[in-house]
Amino acid sequence: MRRIIAVLLENESGALSRVVGLFSQRAYNIESLTVSPTNDKTLSRMTITTDVVNHAELEQMMKQLHKLVDVLRVTELTQSAHVERELLLVKVRTVGSEAREEVKRTCDIYRGQIVDITQNLYTIQLTGAGAKLDAFIATMDDASEIVEVVRSGVCGIARGDKALRA
Amino acid sequence: MEMLSGAEMVVRSLQDEGIEHIFGYPGGSVLDIYDAIFQSDKIEHYLVRHEQAAVHMADAYSRSTGKVGCVLVTAGPGATNCITGIATAYMDSIPLVVLSGQVPTFWIGDDAFQETDMIGVSRPVVKHSFSCRTAEEIPMAIKKAFYIASTGRPGPVVIELPKDVQNPLNKFPYEYPESVSLRSYNPTLSGHKGQIKRAVAALLSARKPVLYVGGGAIIANASKQVLELAEKLNLPVTNTLMGLGAFPGEHKQFIGMLGMHGNYEANKSMHNADLIFSCGARFDDRVTNNVEKFCPHAKIMHIDIDPTSISKNIHADLPIVGSVEVVLQQMLDLIDETQATNDSESINAWWDQINEWRAKDCLAYKTSETHIKPQQVIQCLYKVTKGDAIVTSDVGQHQMVAAQYYPFKEPRQWINSGGAGTMGFGLPAAMGCKIAFPDRPVVCVTGDGSIQMNIQELSTCMQYNIPLVILLLNNRSLGMVKQWQKMFYGGRQSHSYMDSVPDFVKLSEAYNHIGIKVDKIEELEPALTRAFELKDRVVFVDVAIDPEEHVYPMQIKSGSMEDMYLSKTEKTDA
Ligand SMILES: Cc1ncc(C[n+]2csc(CCOP(=O)(O)OP(=O)(O)O)c2C)c(N)n1
Ligand SMILES: [Mg+2]
C-alpha cells in the first residue's frame, strides 16, 4: 500500500538524519522524501511516501516517527481527501521543427511550461500527481530524446479544515 | 551574573543538576573540562580503565538508584569505546547522559586528529543527542539532556562538546535553567479514563488472568501498585528477566520468570491464560517464542509509556499508554471506588491448575559427587547473603541460573543486561552499584568468558577501594554457546571452549585483591561466607562448576510458550 506521511518537526541540525536513520534502521521503505522549513522558520515540514505491507506497519512507522524527540506531529494523508503534488524538470533533445512542435503541443496539453531553450534542447517544468508526471515522461520519450529528469518527490496537504500545525 | 567558561559551565551544570558521581576517562579534547573537575569539590569522578566500563558503571548506578548516570569521555576512540555501553543502556531503557569531547568546531569535517562523528555513530542507540556549537548553549543542552534521558521511556542521551567551546579563556554569563519544556516532547503519564475503566472490567471478569510484569514496572517505581493489585485480586504474577524484583520472588503468588529459560508454571500459565496483563513488558522474542502460537486463548492488555512498544510484536486488545505506576494506581482507585471484585471461585480453580504445574518442580536438579552444580552456587549465595545482596550479572548460563535461583526481594536488586545481552557488563555494573550503595553487599555473578571482557576494571577497584564480591561460575567454556552447539549443532563445539583460562586467584592478587578458589562443594559456603565478611576488600571467588550442565527449562524453538525442554532427556509433549 502506498502511503503519504506528513511530519512537522523542529528545524534543527540532526533532525533529518534521525528520520532517515529510523527508516533504514527499521527496514522501512522510503519512495520519496521532501523537506523544507515552513513559514515558521523554527519548523520543518516533511512529506514521506512509503510502501507498507499492512496497516499495522504503517501505524508502527508513524508511532516510531512520533517517538523522535524532534517530531511534533505526524499524520497520514492518503486515507482522507488530500492534494499531492510533485515538480518535474525534464530536459529533452529535439531535432527539426516538427519534433519541436510536437514537444510544445504535448507540453501544452499537460500544462507544462518551457523554462529554458537552446538550439536543440528544451527544459520543461511540470507539476502534478506522480502518475501524471509518469505519463508525461512516457509521452516525451516518444516525441523526443530525454536528456535528464529531476523530480522533487511528493508534497502533500490535507483538503478542507484539517491542518498540521504546532 | 556569574561568568564561566564552557568547561566550567559543564561542571557547574552537572552540579546544579545534582550530579555527585561521574565516570570517565580524559583525553585531549576534554582536558579543559577535566581541569574544571579538578577544581570542583562537589563532583566525584571515577577513572575507569576502558570507556565501555564507565558507561556500564553509570548505567548500573542508575539501575540501582533510579538516578541518571553520567559519563565523560574524550573524542574519537574515547567516544566510540562507549558505544556498546550506550547500546546496552538503550536496550534496557536506562537514563544516561554521556558527554563526549570533539575536535574544535573549525576542524569538524576535516578528518582532524581523533575526529569521529559521535552524533552519527551513536544515533541508532540513543534517545536523543546534542552538539554544542557555542558555550552559551551548554547549560540548556545539559538541562534538556537530563530531562529527556529521565522522562517518558528513559534512555541514553549524548552531548558532544567541541574543544573550542570549552575554552577556559572565554567567559560567558552562566545561569542554570530551572525547568525545561519541549513542544515536541510530552510523554503521557496517566492512562486514558475510558481505557482504565475497560481494563478494570476485563481484569475483574478474567477467569485465568496472568500479570506479566517487566522492567518498565521497575523503572516506573510501580512495585507497590503491582503488589497491591496482585494481592487484592489474587492474581498470579510472572516477571521478565528485566522485571525480576518488581514482585517479591518468594511471594506465594509469584510463579517465576517466564520466557526462553522461564519456569514451567510461568510459561504454562501464560499459554493457557484468558487474560494477559502486561505491565511495562514489551513481548520480547525471548519471552513470546513463536508469535504465531503465542497465547491463543488470551485477551492482551498492555500498559506501556512507549506507544511503539504496544502492538509491535503482539497485538494489544486493550492498549493503555502511560506510566505503569500511574495507570495501576488509577485502576486501583477505580476498583476501590466501585468495590468491585473478581470471581474468587474461578480464580481458585485457576490456582489449582497452576499449582499442579508448579508441583512439577521444574527447577529441581541432580547434584553430583564429582562436580559442583551452578544451581548450588547460586542457592548458596542466596543463603549466605540472606537474599539481600545487589546481584549484577554478565551474560550466559550463569546469568540465567542467577535469575532462576536467587529470588529477588525488591526492585533494583537484580542488575543485568537483558535487552542487549552484553558480556562484560557485570563487573563495572557491580562497581556502579557499590558506589551508589557502599553499605550493601554487592556481588557480580559472572562467567569465565564474560569476566575477561572488562577484567581491567579490577584496577579501578584497587584505585578507589570498591569492595565487592566476584562470583565466577567457571565452566572453562562459553557455556551458553556450548549448550546451543550441543543441542542444535551436533555437538560441534566451534570456538566455545577456552583453552587458556587464566589463574584468577593470581590475577586478583596482582591487583591486590583476594582470590579464593573453590573446587569442592564443601568449600563453597565457607568461601562465600568469608568473601562477604571481608567487607573492605574485593574478593574474587572462582568456583569450578560442572562444565556439562545446561540451563533448563528452555523453550523449544518455533514452538508456543508452553513448549519446553525440561532436561537433557525430557521435554513437554507438543
Ligand atoms: C559481547 C558479547 N559477545 C558475544 C556474546 C554471545 N554470547 C552469549 S553467552 C556467551 C558465552 C558466555 O560465556 P561465559 O561468560 O563463560 O558464561 P557461561 O555461559 O559459561 O556461564 C556468548 C559468547 C555476547 N552475549 N556478548
Ligand atoms: Mg563459562
CATH code for position A97: 3.30.70.1150
CA B23 – ligand 1 centroid, Å: 25
Q: How far is the CA of B480 from the centre of ligand 1 (A)?
A: 6
pLDDT at B545: 98
Same domain, B96 and B200: no
**CB A94 within 8 Å of CB A106:** no
In this structure, are residues B165 and B134 in contact, taking their beta carbons and an 8 Å threshold?
yes
Q: Could you tell me if A65 and A96 lie in one domain? A: no
- Confidence check: pLDDT of B486 > 80: yes
Instruction: Give, as one character, the DSSP assignment of residue B60.
Output: H
DSSP H or E segment with residue B256: strand B254-257
Query: CA-based diameter of chain A, in Å?
Result: 57
Quick one: B450 and B529 in the same domain? yes
The answer to whether the CB of B117 falls within 8 A of the CB of B124 is no
CA atoms within 13 Å, Cβ hemisphere of A110? 28
Calculate how far, in angstroms, residue B305's C-alpha sits from the geometric centre of ligand 2: 37
Q: How many domains does chain B have?
A: 3
Q: Taking CB atoms and an 8 Å cutoff, what residues of chain A touch B182?
A: 69
Can the peptide bond before residue B26 be classed as cis, meaning omega within 30 degrees of 0? no
Q: How far away, in angstroms, is B360 Cα from ligand 2 center?
A: 28
Q: Under a CB-based contact definition with an 8 Å cutoff, are residues B547 and B475 in contact?
A: yes
| Ligand 1 site, CB within 6 A | B 394-398, 421-424, 447-450, 473, 475, 477-481
pLDDT for residue B22 is more than 80: yes
CA nearest neighbour of B483 among B393, B399, B391, B368? B399
Q: Are B335 and B401 found together in one domain?
A: no
Last residue of one domain, picked from the residues A56, A76, A96 = A76
A91 part of a folded domain: yes
Please give the average per-residue pLDDT across B54-61, as a whole number: 98
Considering chain B, what percentage of its residues have pLDDT values greater than 70?
100
> What's the one-letter identity of residue B243?
G
A67 plus A113 within the same structural domain: no
Give chain A's residues under pLDDT 50: none
CB within 8 Å: B124 and A69: no
d(CA A139, CA A136): 5
Judgement on whether residues B420 and B349 belong to the same structural domain of the protein? no
Residues B328 and B381 in one domain: no
In a domain, B345, yes or no: yes
Which pLDDT value is given to residue B498?
84
Which three cell numbers mark B115?
575526529
Does residue B3 have an active-site annotation? Answer: no
As a residue count, chain A comes to 166
What does the alpha-carbon distance between residue B322 and residue B324 come to, in Å, rounded to a whole number?
6
Cell of B308: 511503539
Are A108 and A66 within one domain?
A: no
Shared domain check, A42 and A91: no
Q: Cβ separation of B184 and A69 shorter than 8 Å?
A: yes
> How far lies A129's CA from each of A7, A122, A126, B90, B539, in Å?
19, 22, 10, 41, 71
Q: What region does B192 belong to: left with phi over 0, alpha with psi -120 to 50, or beta?
A: beta
Query: Is the pLDDT reported for residue B278 higher than 70?
Result: yes
Residue B574 has pLDDT above 70, yes or no: no
- Find the catalytic residue in B8, B9, B23, B51: B51
Task: Look at residue B572 and tell me if it is in a domain.
Answer: no
Residue A25 CA to ligand 1 center (angstroms) comes to 25
Considering the domain architecture, whether residues B250 and B312 belong to the same structural domain is answered as yes
- The pLDDT-based confidence of B10 (bands split at 50, 70, 90) is very high
- Closest to B295 (Cα-Cα) out of B323, B314, B321: B314
Using CB atoms, which residue from B120, B148, B306 is nearest to A69? B148
Domain identity same for B23 and B169 = yes
In b/e form, how buried is each residue of B148-159, taking b as 16+ CB within 10 angstroms? bbbbbbbbbbbb
Are A49 and A100 in the same domain? no
Which residues on chain A are in Cβ contact (under 8 Å) with B141?
A: none
Whole-number pLDDT of residue B23: 98
* Mean predicted confidence (pLDDT) in B170-179: 97
Is the separation of the CB atoms in B425 and B417 below 8 Å?
yes
Q: Could you list the residue range(s) of the whole structural domain that residue B251 is in?
A: 193-358
- B163 flagged as catalytic: yes
Contact at CB, B311 and A21, closer than 8 angstroms: no
Q: Which atom of ligand 1 is nearest to the CA of B480?
A: 19
Interface test with A, best of B308, B309, B312, B321 (most A CBs within 10 A): B308
**CB spacing of B184 vs A71 below 8 angstroms:** yes
Q: Which helix (H) or strand (E) holds A86?
A: strand A82-93
Phi and psi torsions of B280, nearest 5°: 65, 35
Contacts B314 to A, Cβ<8 Å: none
Helices (H) and strands (E) in chain A, counts: 4, 9
The runs of H, that is alpha helices, within B160-307 are 163-166, 193-205, 215-219, 223-233, 264-272, 285-288
* Grid cell in block for residue B514: 583476594
Q: How confident is the model at residue B532 (pLDDT cuts 50, 70, 90)?
A: very high
* Residue B355 Rama label (left phi>0; alpha psi -120 to 50; beta): alpha
Stretch B303-316: mean pLDDT: 97
Please, are residues A84 and A154 in contact by the beta-carbon 8 Å criterion? yes
Q: What average pLDDT does the segment B338-362 reach?
A: 97
DSSP H/E element including B97: strand B96-102
Chain A residues within 8 A of B308 when measuring between CB atoms: 60, 63-64, 67
Residue B480 annotated among the catalytic residues of the structure: yes
Average pLDDT (B99-118) is 97
- Dig out the grid coordinates for B66 from the structure: 533510579
Asked if residue A63 and residue A113 are part of one domain, the reply reads: no
Chain B's closest residue to A26, CA to CA, is B124
Which one of the ligands is nearest to B485 CA? 1
Q: B319 and B416 share a domain?
A: no
pLDDT in tens, B128-150: 999 999 999 999 999 999 999 99
- Using DSSP's 3-state secondary structure scheme, residue B284 falls into coil
- B467 and B545 in a common domain: yes
What was the pLDDT predicted at A161? 94
Compare all CA atoms of chain A with the CA of B145 and give the residue at the minimum distance. A69
In B, minimum Cα distance to A166 occurs at B183
CA atoms within 13 A on the CB side of B152: 23
Residues B352 and B378 in one domain: no
Find the B15 Cα to ligand 2 centroid distance in Å.
41
Q: Are residues B160 and B238 in the same domain?
A: no
The H or E element that residue B15 is part of is helix B6-16
Query: Is there a domain that residue A162 lies in?
Result: no
| Residue B109 at interface with chain A, using a CB cutoff of 8 Å | no
Among partner residues A10, A60, A66, which is closest to B312 by beta-carbon distance? A60
- Comparing CB atoms, the residue among B129, B308, B315 nearest residue A67 is B308
Closest residue to atom 1 of ligand 1, CA basis: B423
Residue A13 DSSP symbol = T
Scored b (16 or more CB within 10 A) or e, B49-83 reads bbbbbbbbbbbbbbbbbbbbbbbbbbbbebbbbbb
**Same domain assignment for residues A13 and A69:** yes
Please tell me which residue of chain A has the smallest CA distance to B118: A14
Cα–Cα dist B417/B139, whole Å = 31
**Candidate from B450, B496, B548 with most ligand 1 atoms within 8 A of CB, to mutate:** B450
Residue A97 forms part of a structural domain: yes
Together in a domain, A67 and A115: no
Q: Note whether A150 and A93 are same-domain residues.
A: yes
Residues in B closer than 8 angstroms to A44, CB to CB, are: none
Please say if the pLDDT value at position B569 is more than 90.
yes
Angle at Cα B447 formed by Cα B445 and Cα B450, nearest 5°?
A: 105
d(CA B497, nearest CA chain A) in Å: 34
Encoded amino acid at B225, one letter: Q
Q: What angle do CA B340, B346, B350 make, to 5 degrees?
A: 125
Q: Across residues B507-527, what is the average pLDDT?
A: 98
Q: Which residue out of B67, B127, B144, B163 is catalytically annotated?
A: B163
Residue with cell 575554552: B167
Residue B574 burial (10 A CB sphere; 0-12, 13-18, 19+): exposed
Q: Which residues 6+ apart lie within 8 Å of B380 measured at CB?
A: B524, B525, B528
Domain with residue A59: its CATH number is 3.30.70.260
What is the count of structural domains for chain A? 2
Q: According to the model, what pLDDT value does residue B573 have?
A: 83
- CA distances in angstroms from B311 to B128, B273, B281, B386, listed in the order given: 24, 18, 12, 40
Mean pLDDT of B377-404: 98
B474: domain CATH number is 3.40.50.970
Of the three residues A52, A76, A100, the one that is the final residue of a domain is A76
Q: Where are the alpha helices (DSSP H) in B295-420?
A: 324-338, 344-358, 374-385, 397-405
Catalytic-residue membership of B140 = no
Q: Tell me how far CA of residue B357 lies from CA of B249, B256, B293, in angstroms.
A: 18, 12, 20
Residue B428 to residue B444: CA distance in whole angstroms: 9
Residue A163 lies in a domain: no
B51 is catalytic: yes
Q: Which of B329, B358, B387 is at the close of a domain?
A: B358
Q: Which three cell numbers stand for residue B441?
A: 553487599
Cβ atoms of B145 and B159 closer than 8 Å: yes
Q: Which domain holds residue A67?
A: 2-76
Choosing from B372, B422, B423, B500 the residue with most ligand 1 atoms within 8 A of its CB, the one to mutate for a pocket test is B423
**In the structure grid, which three cell numbers stand for residue B570, read together?**
525430557
Identify whether residues A94 and A119 lie together within a single domain.
Answer: yes
Task: State which of A76, A91, A106 marks the end of a domain.
Answer: A76
Query: Residue B55: pLDDT above 90?
Result: yes
Distance B449 CA to ligand 2 centre (A): 5
- Interface membership of B123 toward A (CB under 8 Å): yes
Q: Sign of dihedral through CA atoms B230, B235, B239, B244?
A: positive
Q: pTM for this one?
A: 0.97
| B166 shares a domain with B301 | no
Residue of B52, B91, B478 with the most ligand 1 atoms within 8 Å of its CB, for mutation: B478
Q: Whose CA is nearest to atom 9 of ligand 1?
A: B396
In a domain, B369, yes or no: no
